[in-house]
């Protein structure tokens, strides 16, 4: 038997880039591939390296193909799993896509298949993080009249929460900024746009200074903290349950947890 050649595909880290890569895998009939993002490229001793140029047409064709071979739930699981950015998640996704293309049945509910189960588990943790961010975002009103929030989610969930916040806060300008990934969403009362901020030198996102935020902002934080304390029932204290629901890594931007 011939040893199949291994190819390393370097793509730009976007979902469209990944889908373009999948297109090339089919077009060039590549057997064994490893996807790498530019920031994590490691020279492979064997095999060839291919640079993928993101092509929206190719990406679109693959995505349409995926949608015709998966349920709505299945395709949104694939996208969510991609956003996990987990090490080598691309290989798992490719495996899933190839399975879906080959199978006559929709494979999305085949939970006894290891790839399907794994993708659904990863998508579930991303979904949990999305839901947490919908809960844990804390806006503060800036002097410019924009409600501003900073987050540091485990996964890149901004694309998933955009619609939720747009529907909910349709009549106020807001920014949700991912400090970890250095980009954010800005809603200008009309549409949501991806944006990058050059934050002032020494800017501490956990502090509410009057240089940036309106005078009454601290008062509302205080009222919220007071409310949070008053609504607690001391004789039912259960910190284990508390931390289970709000893991400590999220406390940094939750004003009620900082007192």
Partner 1 sequence: MSFERTQEKLKILADAAKYDVSCASSGSKRSNASKGLGDATGMGICHSYTEDGRCVSLLKILLTNYCIFDCAYCVTRKSNDIKRAAFQVQEVVDLTINFYRRNYIEGLFLSSGIFKSADYTMERLVAVAKKLRLEENFNGYIHLKSIPGASDELMKEAGLYADRLSVNIEIPTREGLKLLAPEKNREDFIKPMVKVKNEIIQYQSEKKIIKSTPKFAPAGQSTQMIIGASGESDQQIMWTSNYFYKKFNLKRVYYSGYIPISYDSRLPQIGTDVPMLRENRLYQTDWLMRFYGFEVHEILNNDHQNLDLDVDPKLGWALRNMEHFPVDVNKADQLMLARIPGLGMKSVYKIIQARQFRKLNWDHLKRMGVALNRAKYFLVCDSRDFERRDLTGPQLKSIILQNTTSKYQKILSPQLNLFE
> Where on the chain is the footprint of partner 1 (CB under 8 A)?
105, 109-114, 117, 131, 134-141, 147, 149, 164, 167-172, 216, 219-220, 222-224, 226-228, 230-242, 244-246, 254, 256-257
Nearer to partner 1, 56 or 241 (CB): 241
- Six token digits for residue 144: 């410019």
- Six token digits for residue 175: 């920014």
Nearer to partner 1, 143 or 242 (CB): 242
Selection from 45, 111, 29 nearest residue 74 by Cα: 111
- Determine the Cα–Cα distance for residues 82 and 180; give it in Å rounded to an integer: 18
Nearer to partner 1, 42 or 235 (CB): 235
Residue 39 DSSP one-character state: G
Does residue 185 sit in helix, strand or coil?
strand
Nearer to partner 1, 123 or 141 (CB): 141
- Determine the Cα–Cα distance for residues 131 and 169; give it in Å rounded to an integer: 17
- Determine the Cα–Cα distance for residues 35 and 6; give it in Å rounded to an integer: 11
Q: How far is the CB of 229 from partner 1 (least distance, A)?
A: 8
Q: How far is the CB of 254 from partner 1 (least distance, A)?
A: 7
Contact at 8 Å (CB) between 28 and 48? Answer: no
- Determine the Cα–Cα distance for residues 168 and 215; give it in Å rounded to an integer: 25
Does residue 36 sit in helix, strand or coil?
strand
- Determine the Cα–Cα distance for residues 24 and 50; give it in Å rounded to an integer: 10
Within 13 A of 192's CA, how many CA atoms are on the CB side? 21
Q: How far is the CB of 172 from partner 1 (least distance, A)?
A: 6
Q: How far is the CB of 87 from partner 1 (least distance, A)?
A: 20
Q: How far is the CB of 245 from partner 1 (least distance, A)?
A: 4
Nearer to partner 1, 64 or 168 (CB): 168
Nearer to partner 1, 29 or 245 (CB): 245
Q: How far is the CB of 158 from partner 1 (least distance, A)?
A: 15
């Amino acid at each position: 038997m011939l040893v199949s050649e291994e190819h390393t595909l370097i793509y730009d880290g976007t979902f469209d880039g990944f889908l373009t890569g999948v297109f090339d895998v089919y077009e060039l009939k590549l057997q064994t591939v490893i996807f790498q993002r530019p920031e994590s490229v490691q020279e492979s001793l064997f095999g060839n390296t291919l640079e993928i140029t993101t092509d929206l047409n190719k990406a679109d064709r693959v995505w349409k193909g995926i949608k015709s071979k998966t349920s709505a739930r299945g395709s949104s699981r694939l996208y969510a799993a991609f956003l996990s950015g987990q090490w080598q998640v691309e290989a798992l996704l490719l495996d899933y896509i190839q399975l879906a293309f080959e199978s006559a049945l929709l494979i999305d509910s085949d939970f006894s298949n290891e790839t399907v189960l794994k993708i659904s588990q990863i998508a579930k943790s991303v979904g949990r993080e999305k839901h947490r961010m919908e809960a844990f975002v804390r806006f503060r009103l800036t002097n410019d009249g924009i409600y501003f929030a900073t987050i540091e989610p485990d996964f890149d969930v901004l694309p998933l929460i955009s619609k939720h916040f747009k529907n909910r806060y349709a009549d106020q300008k807001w920014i949700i900024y991912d400090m970890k990934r250095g980009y954010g969403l800005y809603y200008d009362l009309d549409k949501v746009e991806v944006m990058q901020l050059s934050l002032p030198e020494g800017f501490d996102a956990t502090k509410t200074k009057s240089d940036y935020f309106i005078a009454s902002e601290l008062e509302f934080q205080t009222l919220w903290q007071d409310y949070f304390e008053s609504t607690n029932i001391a004789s039912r204290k259960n910190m284990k349950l508390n931390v289970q629901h709000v893991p400590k890594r999220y406390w940094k931007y939750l004003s009620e947890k900082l007192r």
